[in-house]
Chain A
Amino acid sequence: MLAKTPLFDSINVGDSITPLVKGPMTTAHIMRWSSAIENWHRIHYDRTYAQEHDKLPDVMVNGSWKQHVLIQLVSDWAGEDGWVVEIDFQFRGMDVPGNTLTAFGTVTETRDCGAYGLVMLEIGLKNETGQNGTPGTASVLLPKAGGPPVPYPFDPAILAGAES
Chain B
Amino acid sequence: MTDLDVNYITDDVKALIGMESDFCEMPHPVEASEVRRFHHAVMDDSPRYSDAGASRYGGPVAPLGFPVHMYRRRPGEPDPLDGMDRPDRDGLDRKLRPGLPPIDVPLTRLLNGGYRYTFYRYAEIGDRIFVKSRYRDIYQRSGRSGVMVLFDIEDTYVNQDRELLLETKNTIILR
Contacts and interface: CB of A to CB of B under 8 A. Distances in A.
Interface of A: 1-2, 22, 29, 32-33, 35-43, 49, 53-54, 63-65, 67-69, 71-72, 75-76, 80, 83-91, 136, 149, 152-154, 156
Contacts, number: 116
Nearest to B112: A63
A91 B150 CA distance: 14
A123 to B, nearest CB: 12
B40 A54 contact: no
B153 to A, nearest CB: 14
A80 B61 CA distance: 13
A2 B54 contact: yes
Contact of B57 (A63, A91, A152): A152
B101 interface: no
B82 to A, nearest CB: 11
A67 B69 CA distance: 12
A85 B65 contact: no
Contacts of A86: 116-119
10 contacts: A35-B41, A36-B40, A40-B80, A49-B90, A53-B87, A85-B118, A86-B119, A87-B119, A152-B57, A154-B119
Interface residues of B, number: 47
Q: Name the prevailing secondary structure of the B interface residues.
A: loop
Contacts of A153: 120-121, 163-164
B113 A91 contact: yes
A68 B47 contact: no
A102 to B, nearest CB: 13
Contacts of B37: 32, 35-36
Contact of A71 (B64, B73, B81): B64
A90 B41 CA distance: 21
